[in-house]
Amino acid sequence: MKQQRLTRQPVPKVTEEDVKRVALRDFGIAQLPEVFSILNGLQDLKEDPRIRLAVMKLANQDIKRLPDRIKSALRDWRDTLVAAEYPTSDYDADWLQYRQWLTKK
């Protein structure tokens, strides 16, 4: 019986600096106070930069979508991470897409 090679799912290693940079990039300096105020709605989850980045990615640069993304994350933060980081379950393609989104200028 041929043994199947298991693909390891990559996990982003992100920081608070990434959160600040992406918030500025995606929402602009004028909206930063409001963006961070909304992100504070993540309660205990707000300390995890990965979850905050996922919320912003799913909001797709639309500040009006942030509150709904927050509600979803509070229901189940794992679903939020999967939707943002692994939307197709093709780990290699998803990982490339996420890295491009994270590092774009």
Domain ranges of the chain: 16-103
Query: Which two three-digit tokens encode residue 13?
Result: 């290693």
Please tell me the distance from the alpha carbon of residue 16 to that of residue 51, in angstroms, as a whole number.
Answer: 11
At 38-82, the pLDDT tens digits run 999 998 888 899 999 999 999 999 999 999 999 999 999 999 999
Stated as kind and residue range, the H or E segment containing 4 is: none
Please tell me the distance from the alpha carbon of residue 96 to that of residue 88, in angstroms, as a whole number.
Answer: 12
Backbone angles phi, psi at 76, to 5 degrees: -160, 100
Residue 35 has pLDDT above 60, yes or no: yes
**pTM of the model as a whole:** 0.89
At 70-91, the pLDDT tens digits run 999 999 999 999 999 999 989 8
Query: Which two three-digit tokens encode residue 21?
Result: 């940079």
